Amino acid sequence: MVNVAIIGTEKSGRTSLAANLGKKGTVSDITMYNTAKEGKNMVFVDAQSYPKTLKSLVTVLNISDIALLCIPPEGLDAHTGECIIALDLLGFKHGIIALTKSDSTNMHAVDEFKAKLKVITAGTALHDWEFISLNTNKSAKNPFEGVDDLKTRINEMAKKIEVEHAELNSLPARIFIDHAFDVKGKGCVVLGVVKQGISKEKDKTKIFPLDREIEIKSIQSHDVDIDSAPTGTRVGMRLKNVQAKDIERGFIISDKENITSDYVLECTISKFTKKIEPESVLHIFVGLQSEPVRVEKILVDGKEVKEAKPGTTCVLELSGNKKVAYSKEDRFLISNLDLTQRFAAYGFSK
């Protein structure tokens, strides 16, 4: 199963495109659109609340395998830039740049726009992403131009991603939770995605950062009961020994995670941010969790320094208030919500 994030600036046509690709499901700050074709399920996730919240953007990216970056003809604005920086800091592997609203521009302008974007994305994670010019306007002269091409491309990418997922099946199961609620007569139900391993019905495992033993009572995918969920599956799970009110977005079902509220991260500071100084308040994202943190110390080559400059690497010592769960290989994103372009760095736990 492959999950696709739909991101972009405001009014870039994200929701129109998502609605065209799937059937509306769970709605919150992110909205799911589901499809089932030839027995294969796909979920398109619209980062509904972006640019208002960075959290919706990071959440959709961290539950997805493919990113569709929507850019409208008039669209080289600050938020398009911010989306490109987010994808780059995440080292996002698979994606397509959808040049939306093709009916409101012309071929010549599209070609010029592509050339410009090629320059902007050179040297980023998006350098070899394909451009597809499309529209979702049924009264256009060329209605739904590019949409079938897009679907074909996504299906081709999905085949590669399924191979990558299969390679992760031998790892211990980890499920990132994005929604939790109580269902009358059924108890606690969580929605999320299997990030690695194979999760099985009746598994006795734990939920983090609660660090509590739980049992997976049953698993559904696309409303169908299944007894095991391999890597990449979007799941609904009934859990025993925990209540929905105790679960937040980003909690992880797994046998073992690190838990911390203080961090020592090896960081790469974005070229497109301002210097970071001790005592400033930043925001970290890891998995689907996010927390404010304070910069305690900045170290370069083991020595304490007064600032971390854009485009450099350093160790950031950060302190927060709440327990966060993560594994060694999880990538942290660091942001400064006071700036226009809010992403500041990425890092890994030392």
Query: Which residues sit at the interface with Mg ion, rule CB under 5 A?
Result: 15
Of the listed pieces 10-18, 73-81, 189-197, 307-315, which binds ligand GDP according to CB under 6 A? 10-18
Residue 25: CB minimum distance to ligand GDP, A: 16
What is the residue whose two structure tokens read 């689907």? 288
State which residue, 74 or 338, has the beta carbon closest to ligand GDP: 74
Dihedral (CA of 291, 338, 282, 310) sign: positive
Residues 121-140 binding ligand GDP (CB under 6 A) are 135-137
The binder of ligand GDP chosen from 2, 5, 13, 289 (CB under 6 A): 13
The binder of ligand GDP chosen from 1, 2, 3, 12 (CB under 6 A): 12
Q: Does 14 bind ligand GDP (CB under 6 A)?
A: yes
Residue type, 15: T
Q: Does 104 bind ligand GDP (CB under 6 A)?
A: yes
Q: Does 10 bind ligand GDP (CB under 6 A)?
A: yes
* 231 contact, one of ligand GDP, Mg ion, none, CB 5-8 Å limit per kind: none
For residues 251 and 287, the answer to whether their CB atoms sit within 8 Å is no
DSSP annotation string for 22-40: SEEEEESSSEEEEEEETTE
Question: Phi-psi bin for 223: left (phi > 0), alpha (psi -120 to 50), beta?
Answer: left
Q: Does 80 bind ligand GDP (CB under 6 A)?
A: no
Which residues, listed in sequence order, are joined to residue 136 by a DSSP beta bridge?
Answer: none
In 147-217, which residue ranges form alpha helices assigned H by DSSP?
147-168
* 136 contact, one of Mg ion, ligand GDP, none, CB 5-8 Å limit per kind: ligand GDP
* 10 contact, one of ligand GDP, Mg ion, none, CB 5-8 Å limit per kind: ligand GDP
Q: Compute how many residues bind ligand GDP; rule: CB under 6 A.
A: 15
Structure tokens at 22: 């799937």
CA distances from 267 to 35, 49, 89, 113, 299 (A): 38, 27, 11, 33, 10
CA–CA distance, 287 with 325 (Å, rounded to integer): 9
Of the listed pieces 14-22, 113-121, 165-173, 258-266, which binds ligand GDP according to CB under 6 A? 14-22
State which residue, 45 or 242, has the beta carbon closest to ligand GDP: 45
Residue 91 CB neighbour total at 10 angstroms: 10
- CA torsion 292-68-198-91 (nearest 10°) is -60
* 16 contact, one of Mg ion, ligand GDP, none, CB 5-8 Å limit per kind: ligand GDP
The residues binding ligand GDP (CB under 6 A) are: 8, 10-16, 100-101, 103-104, 135-137
